[in-house]
């Protein structure tokens, strides 16, 4: 497992990432209603995520480093393979099924970027969550694997699915090895945590998808 020392703090840092999704700026600095993740649609206590994952047998935290258990990792990889082969429309439907508060999910393509746009039905921009396709694949796959393996309710499952993105090695969209970089992208403002410290993020250097930000 790469990034062993960062793993547990990354999971706990999920709230900072989720909150920053509301700033209206995506990883490339473009204005967006939301550029975000499945977890943004929930109010579940992200502090409890790691404990949830350990209790569910999805993450092994007995050693120095938290890491997914082999069984869970296999299940998630299989779901990633299945979901990445779907059309954007079918991926949107699969994502909707795992999104706790969304009432609809639309496939939207802008330029070379594909999104699943989840909406809570309010018709307000704040009720929309724009999820990059590779993020939708990764988090929906993790949520499906969690649904199979655990009794977690949908909201905690979505937060956990986002937290599990710290354990991705390759981009579920294009297969490129992910890198840790400063969060915020090349042209956007630097992203910071609640105390003003710059965040780092796990990003795909090829399609520039950001999967998770952490301190």
Name the residue nearer to Zn ion (CB basis): 22 or 174: 174
Between CA 118 and CA 167 the distance in angstroms is 24
DSSP 129-157: EEEEHHHHHHHHHHHHHHHHH----HHHH
- Give the residues lining the site for Zn ion (CB under 5 A): 171, 173-174, 176, 204, 206-207
Name the residue nearer to Zn ion (CB basis): 58 or 212: 212
Write down the least CB distance from residue 171 to Zn ion, Å: 3
Name the residue nearer to Zn ion (CB basis): 94 or 168: 168
Write down the least CB distance from residue 174 to Zn ion, Å: 4
Between CA 34 and CA 130 the distance in angstroms is 5
Name the residue nearer to Zn ion (CB basis): 44 or 137: 137
Radius of gyration of the chain (CA): 15
Write down the least CB distance from residue 173 to Zn ion, Å: 4
Write down the least CB distance from residue 135 to Zn ion, Å: 10
Nearest to 19 by CA among 209, 183, 202, 208: 183
């Amino acid at each position: 497992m790469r990034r062993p020392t960062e793993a547990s703090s990354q999971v706990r840092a999920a709230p900072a990432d989720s909150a920053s999704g509301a700033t209206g700026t995506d990883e490339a600095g473009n204005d967006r209603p939301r550029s975000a993740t499945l977890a943004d649609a929930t109010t579940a206590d992200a502090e409890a995520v790691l404990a949830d994952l350990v209790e569910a047998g999805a993450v092994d935290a007995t050693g120095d480093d938290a890491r997914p258990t082999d069984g869970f990792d296999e299940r998630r990889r299989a779901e990633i393979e299945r979901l990445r082969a779907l059309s954007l429309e079918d991926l949107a439907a699969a994502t909707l099924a795992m999104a706790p508060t969304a009432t609809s999910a639309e496939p939207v393509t802008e330029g070379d970027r594909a999104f699943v746009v989840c909406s809570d039905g309010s018709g307000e921009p704040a009720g929309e969550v724009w999820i990059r396709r590779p993020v939708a694949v990764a988090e929906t796959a993790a949520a499906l694997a969690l649904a199979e393996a655990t009794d977690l309710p949908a909201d905690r499952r979505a937060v956990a699915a986002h937290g599990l993105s710290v354990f991705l090695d390759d981009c579920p969209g294009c297969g490129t090895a992910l890198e840790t970089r400063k969060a915020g992208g090349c042209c956007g403002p630097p992203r910071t945590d609640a105390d003003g410290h710059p965040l780092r993020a796990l990003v795909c250097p090829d399609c520039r998808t950001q999967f998770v930000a952490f301190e």
